[in-house]
Homo-oligomer: A and B are copies of this chain.
Amino acid sequence: MIGKNNQTVMYTELQCLRNLAAIEDALYVLGGKWKLRIVIALVSGYCRFNEIQRTIKGISARVLSNELKDLELNGLVERVVQANQKPVIVEYIATEYAQTLGDIIAALTDWGYEHKRKLTQHPEADVKRSVVI
């Protein structure tokens, strides 16, 4: 009952289970607090370690380091060491494959904007309620 551009689409039971599996795969790679934020920072052109850390407020060096390794393992980020420079400079580059995340990032970003707009316009709408028939 949901689909692209908010068209109504029915899922059969089998499709529902397959979609659950697919979204599970996607969230396995992209889930967690930081992964998508890092990808956004990378595709926006930030590529140095400290630069990324400064851009993404709140992330620690340890976590950023681990997340970048994960993303590299999944083929979304390439680590480029410029050994000729002194001090040695490391760049993290979003791969071509990371470009395939465009739809996900755009959809999440759009929804986030709209959701915030909704919250600030009708704050009273978000009150917990149960409908009793």
Task: List A residues at the B interface (Cβ < 8 Å).
Answer: 1-8, 10-11, 13, 15-17, 19-27, 29-31, 33, 36-37, 40-41, 43-46, 55-56, 69, 72-75, 78-84, 94, 97-116, 118, 125-126, 128-133
Partner of A44 from the list B1, B25, B36, B101 (CB cut-off 8 Å) is B1
Distance between Cα atoms of A44 and B41 in the complex (Å): 34
Write 18 A-B pairs (CB below 8 A) sorted by A numbering: A1-B45, A2-B99, A2-B101, A2-B102, A2-B105, A4-B102, A11-B40, A13-B44, A15-B44, A16-B41, A23-B37, A26-B109, A27-B33, A31-B33, A83-B132, A100-B111, A104-B104, A104-B107
A130: chain B residues at CB < 8 Å are 72, 79-81
Instruction: Assess whether B109 is in contact with A78, with CB atoms less than 8 Å apart.
Output: no
A129: chain B residues at CB < 8 Å are 72
CB distance from A18 to the nearest CB of B (A): 8
Partner of A22 from the list B25, B75, B116 (CB cut-off 8 Å) is B116
